[in-house]
Amino acid sequence: MNMSTICGQTEFDREIQSSDLPILVYFWNPLCEHCVRVIDPIICDIAEECPNIMFLRVDGRTSDDLVDRFILLSFPTFILFSGGADIAYLDGDVTEKRLLALLRSYR
């Protein structure tokens, strides 16, 4: 699986700028029951199905700088990056079908 956990803005920027692959960033909160019980397993499944996409997971509770930078209003939030630029956003109650459709459109 091609998934990493990011702990700060410097590490985040390095990953986003250096990747040749599209990157799906998953902003979550461990206190969000929906994130933990529903979205986490979906992300793990999708990461297995999409080896040409890099997956980054960011804890929104401990990454205020990134939450502020992207003006995140809720968790979970997904931002797809390609070539260092953010190209798509999804937030709220996102289904596996919506995530896969998004990722397939940018492969």
> Per-residue pLDDT tens for 43-74?
999 998 888 999 999 999 999 999 999 999 99
Does 29 have pLDDT greater than 80? yes
Average pLDDT, the chain: 92
| Statement: residue 25 has pLDDT above 80 | yes
* Whether 12 contacts 66, CB under 8 Å: yes
The partner residues of 4 in beta bridges, in order of sequence, read: 56
The reported pLDDT for the residue numbered 107 is 65
The residue-averaged pLDDT of 21-35 equals: 94
Helix (H, G, I), strand (E, B) or coil at 24: strand
The percentage of residues in the chain with a pLDDT greater than 70, rounded to a whole number, is 97
CA distance 75 to 49: 23
> Which H or E run includes 96?
helix 96-105
Q: 12 vs 4, 6, 98, CA distance in Å?
A: 10, 6, 24
pTM to 2 decimals?
0.92
Residue 4, helix vs strand vs coil: strand
